[in-house]
Amino acid sequence: MELKNYTEDNNIIEEIIEDSIAEKVGIEVGDILLSINDMPVKDIIDYKYLISDEYIEVSIEKKNGEVWRYEIEKDYDEDLGIVFTNPLIDRAKSCRNKCIFCFIDQLPPNMRKTLYFKDDDSRLSFLQGNFITLTNMTDDEIQRIIDYKLTPINVSVHTTNPELRIKMLNNKNAGKIYDILKRFSDAKLEINCQIVLVPGVNDGEELRRTLNDLAKLHPSIKSVAVVPVGVTKYREKLEKIKPYTAETAKGLLELISEKQEEFMNILGTRFVFASDEFFALTNSPLPKYKEYEGFPQLENGVGLMRLFEDEVVKELDKIKTSINQNKKYIIATGTLAYSFMCKIGELICDKFPGLELKVVPITNKFFGETITVSGLITGRDLVEQLMEFRNYDKIIIPRSMLKRDEEVFLDDLTLQDVSKSLNIEVVPSKVEGKSIIDIIKK
């Protein structure tokens, strides 16, 4: 994940939520939080913990240097409505691992600096759902998670074989993973796990072992996502890794299906879920909606396609009469999702007579053709591969191609840059049924 403002250490208030406690008592943008109940606030975890009481005393430094003390009565766990310039209120902790599959190590040179920052911070797991390896934590920090009951926490496991995990992460502390997970489980914290699979390394029998170990910690471990390793063309001087093929992905799906049936009988849950990439790679039917059990791992691309398709169908069902739409749109997508998006396009066109939807798969020249997901398509690849298309009204792209909080692609081209180069409006759509149908309707 690209970090913004997380490498600076400050308690500066950037925003006050409207009608919040902070606004009502007079805390202002630009103020600096000094302490709560005379306790220093080291980071956002301290902040969340210290404001949970029904009565708190907050010390604030105003812009003129004066220190004001606010006595606040509120409901238990009620938020103050303060947004900090740095959401962590601390420097983000960088990763000390040298994972054999690390995607950041495979980035091309001369990209923006923040893209090369490897985070491995438990606070980001709590705040934003980031997955962490737990190798970057002292025993006191682990106990802090337990004491503060920070949950859910998302953990990159990869394997529970201590020797293999040390090798995969190139960190001597990596083999302690199961002991830490056991401590979290004993404390009844909710955990979601991720396994990045490297063919011939941690799949097959190693994967069976890992899943069996993790299942022993259910229900504290709520779910496990299995995702394929990403391999770019920039792996000079790195360990050789082969990406998944249709054949190896098929074998993986068979193993996952077998384990899901086993876990369903023992635990009452499928427990482990394969990411959409495996289904797209093998052109296999997606599991049914209910088989994703509430979609606990959407951020890992588990069930995103199924959820999107179902949402599109529901939105189309709301349209009781066909809508004449004599327009021509392009849907740009990664090569992995091409067949799936063609199906979506057909569903949409059935409801909009006269509409022409052309799905265009964008080959990833920037990172290499082995990278097939839509979220890693750059503005430059869009421009180069869509330049031949003329007389289209709009180009629809998934919002995941852009930065989380800006209309900027990974290669720093802006949405406006791409639209201007192609002389066609480029419109980002959330991966939600309502979002894409609303764009089509306009």
What's the number of CA atoms in the CB half-sphere (13 Å) around residue 145? 29
Q: Which two tokens stand for residue 215?
A: 């299942």
Q: How far is CA 364 from the centre of its chain?
A: 20
Q: Where are the beta strands (DSSP E) in 119-250?
A: 153-156, 191-197, 221-228
- Domain 308-441: state its class: alpha beta
Query: Is the previous residue joined to 219 through a cis bond, with omega within 30 degrees of 0?
Result: yes
Neighbouring residues of 338: CB distance < 8 A, sequence distance ≥ 6: 359, 361
| Residue 330 · residue 382 · CB < 8 Å | no
User: To which residue do tokens 């949409």 refer?
Assistant: 348
pLDDT reported for residue 431:
92
User: What single-letter DSSP state applies at residue 85?
Assistant: S
- The pLDDT averaged over each successive group of 10 residues in the chain (442 residues) is 45 89 92 90 80 91 91 90 72 66 74 57 52 84 84 91 94 93 96 94 97 98 95 83 92 97 98 97 96 94 96 93 86 96 94 93 94 93 95 95 88 95 96 94 83
Host H or E run for residue 36: strand 32-36
352 C-beta neighbours (distance < 10 Å), count: 21
Q: 186-196 burial, b for 16+ CB within 10 Å, e for fewer?
A: eeebbbbbbbb
Rg (CA), the chain: 24
322 C-beta neighbours (distance < 10 Å), count: 11
Q: Which CATH number fits domain 104-300: 1.10.10, 3.30.1150, 3.80.30, 1.10.510?
A: 3.80.30
| 110-114: long-range pairs with CB below 8 Å, 24+ | 111/410, 111/411, 111/412, 112/412, 114/2, 114/3, 114/4
Rounded CA separation 255/258 (Å) = 5
pLDDT reported for residue 5:
43
pLDDT reported for residue 299:
86
Identify which of 431, 334, 433 has the alpha carbon closest to the alpha carbon of residue 385: 334
Q: Which two tokens stand for residue 217?
A: 């910690």
pTM strictly above 0.85: no
Tell me which CATH homologous superfamily contains domain 13-84: PDZ domain (2.30.42.10)
Domain ranges of the chain: 13-84, 104-300, 308-441
pLDDT reported for residue 4:
44
